[in-house]
């Protein structure tokens, strides 16, 4: 288990303190000091479980703005499209489904980028990421897909996550 670095502790402290303010929602000086002490303790003990690489990423305004643009723009459009598609299948009697598990290559390199892509895929109705593997330098996702229209490989990958991956690459790399 590695030692927690100072930027990791600082990032965890800021998140904990914002959450304290949210739950408390009063701005008296005593309560703010109590919150700072409690969140410093929590950050000292738990920073090494939360942050592993590049803790300052969250506070860079360029990254933050592009992340917000991705999740409020590109991802929201994909989400609404997939939701309408799934609602049509549900109201149509749940008959025209064609499920299967496909294996899809992923080009993102960093851990956070892969986690964000996997969670975005899972959040879209119709696709669930089930397992990730690595085979000679190339990362693969196993994805359960409700309507299989292409066999495993690059074609299925473009159909499932083409626009999502393009947007996420602008955020993380």
For position 142 contacting another protein by CB under 8 A, the verdict is yes
33 vs 119: CA distance, rounded Å? 36
Q: Which of 94, 96, 136, 137 binds another protein (CB under 8 A)?
A: 94
For position 159 contacting another protein by CB under 8 A, the verdict is no
Q: Which of 110, 119, 138, 163 binds another protein (CB under 8 A)?
A: 119
Q: Which of 56, 58, 83, 109 binds another protein (CB under 8 A)?
A: 83
Q: Is 110 helix (H, G, I), strand (E, B) or coil?
A: coil
50 vs 72: CA distance, rounded Å? 25
By CB under 8 A, name the binding residues for another protein. 22-23, 25, 79-80, 83, 86-87, 89-91, 93-94, 97-103, 118-120, 122-131, 133, 142, 144, 146, 148, 151-152
């Amino acid at each position: 288990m590695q030692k927690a670095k100072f930027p990791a502790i600082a990032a965890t402290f800021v998140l904990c303190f914002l959450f304290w303010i949210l739950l408390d929602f009063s701005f008296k000086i005593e309560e703010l000091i109590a919150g700072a002490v409690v969140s410093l303790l929590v950050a000292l003990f738990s920073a090494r479980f939360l942050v592993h690489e590049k803790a300052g990423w969250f506070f860079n305004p360029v990254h933050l703005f592009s992340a917000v643009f991705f999740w409020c723009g590109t991802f929201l459009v994909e989400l609404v499209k997939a939701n309408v598609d799934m609602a049509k299948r549900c109201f149509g009697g749940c008959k025209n489904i064609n499920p299967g598990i496909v294996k899809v290559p992923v080009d993102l390199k960093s851990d956070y980028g892969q986690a964000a892509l996997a969670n975005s895929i899972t959040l879209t109705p119709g696709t669930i990421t089930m397992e990730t593997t690595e085979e000679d330098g190339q990362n693969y996702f196993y994805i359960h897909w409700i309507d299989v229209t292409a066999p495993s490989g690059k074609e299925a990958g473009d159909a499932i996550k083409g626009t999502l991956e393009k947007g996420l690459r602008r955020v993380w790399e």
